Structure 1
Amino acid sequence: MDSSLRSSLALRRIDLLAGLGEPRLQALAQRCRWQHVPAERPLLLRAQDRGEVFLLVSGLVRVTTYAANGRQVTFRDLGAGEVLGDIAALDGQPRSADVLTLEDSVVAVLERSDFLALLREEPELALRVMQRLATLVRELSERVIELSTQGVQNRLHAELLRLARLAGVADNQARLAPAPRHLELAARVSTNREQVTRELNALVRAGLLQKQGGALVLTDVAQLTRMVAQVRGEAAPAPAPLS
């Protein structure tokens, strides 16, 4: 592995570590075990009784799990700068989900004892971890409400809106490239591929979605936002002023 990927400079890519001084980052880089993990490989396994924390320096991973009937349930995709495994490190319990690499990835692996010591010694970092976990709880609560109270159509609309915001919205449009596979969307909204295909075709007919080569283009993000807000009983956010 390139030695530059094992340095304090590489750890500056981790959002959670923002603000740590150079001596601390250098010491942390030395404490980590550095790994290159090829694409389509398991990084963490559910129920695995290990407490290391994984700092994703480069690459892309998917947090997922499988139901008893074999159906895949996908929680989210995470890119460079994210932290994985901190929940098990904090409570000492087994992993709660599988994490699979979608791309070749480089991770810095920090032992549980070192991670907990870092939190005790860096109160600002500990606060950042708490804020991150609070955000995660809110996101998961929202997903539970969607899965338990909304139909497939509404769940898919909400997921497309999430993906649009991650991809970036410009001129009321968002381009998802490459287009997410129907099977992946089905895993995200807990349904099957056939239902996803039907709902995507309905959005195309309504003029809210276009297929352009290997991409999906959401052509009216504001309208999709209103549709999602209406189902949730929320007021849709006001459109951003034109610059």
Structure 2
Amino acid sequence: MALQRSSLALQHIALLEALPLQRLDALAQRCQWQSVAAGTPLLLRSEDKSDVFFLVSGQLRVTTYSASGRQVTFRDLQEGEYFGDISAIDGKPRSADVVTLKPTVVASLDRSGFLDLLRSEPIVAERVMRNLAALVRQLSDRVIDLSTLGVQNRVHAELLRLARAAGIVDNQARLDPAPTHAELASQISTNREQVTRELNALRRDGVLAKDGKALVVADVRRLASLVAEVRGFA
């Protein structure tokens, strides 16, 4: 469904923060705006498209599937983030699938418009470089975890990452709604049964607790200590 172009909505995109209103107005007019239902693919791996998307509202998952059909999830995107910049920069096909998790509004900017933006707004170019550097570090850490840690330790590391993203208060973090066991399995390249076994063990040890639809990390320091021990940081 087509939407009215809105520079006000673009003010909430972190990449575009503090750009002049006139610049945002021009970007809003150049973007294509869409409202997309939950569970809808927005991008497909190997698709030969190079638009950059600004996530105005909703939630997305960056994922892909192996030849056998096994899902591998890279990360979830929240309101105010952007995606699609890798293909816009190098002109090559998409490297992953992107699927909506909630009803979502996106604004998409064509490749030439995005490259023009980088050339004319140094602060935007710097933010893109910083985000790409952070992504390389994140993926490097993940490769190391997948290569060196057992399933138990990978579950601990992923829960700690989710806890820090959700926010830690008084040594606790609330994941609401709780990630499903299948979602956690796709994040750490294992199966749902192994995740279930490790979560049950953490609940017995008092590290995790259920609270309605939420999962509470009841002892973040203990969880961080478990992760640090196997990574050699203790």
Band the TM-score falls in, shorter-chain normalisation? over 0.9
Report how many residues are paired: 233
Per the alignment, residue 181 of structure 2 pairs with 182
Describe the superposition over 1:183-221 as per-residue Cα deviations: whole angstroms up to 9, x where unpaired: 000000100000000000110111111112211111100
Runs of 4+ in 1 over 6 A off after TM superposition: none
1:89, 1:2 → 2: CA distance? 23
Per the alignment, residue 238 of structure 1 pairs with none
Per the alignment, residue 207 of structure 1 pairs with 206
2:173, 2:50 → 1: CA distance? 38
Cα deviation, residue 2, structure 1: 5.8
Per the alignment, residue 53 of structure 2 pairs with 54
Scaled by the length of structure 2, what TM-score is found? 0.97
**Residues 74-223 of structure 1 aligned to structure 2 (within 5 Å):** 74-223=73-222
Instruction: Quote the RMSD (CA, aligned, Å).
Output: 0.9
1:11, 1:140 → 2: CA distance? 28
2:100, 2:72 → 1: CA distance? 16
2:124, 2:176 → 1: CA distance? 34
Per the alignment, residue 239 of structure 1 pairs with none
Scaled by the length of structure 1, what TM-score is found? 0.94
Per the alignment, residue 42 of structure 1 pairs with 41
2:31, 2:211 → 1: CA distance? 43
Name stretches of at least 5 consecutive residues in structure 1 with no aligned partner. 236-243
Describe the superposition over 1:214-243 as per-residue Cα deviations: whole angstroms up to 9, x where unpaired: 1111110011111111111114xxxxxxxx
2:209, 2:121 → 1: CA distance? 48
1:98, 1:142 → 2: CA distance? 21
Describe the superposition over 1:148-172 as per-residue Cα deviations: whole angstroms up to 9, x where unpaired: 1100011110100111111111110
- Which shows bigger deviation, 91-100 or 211-220? 211-220
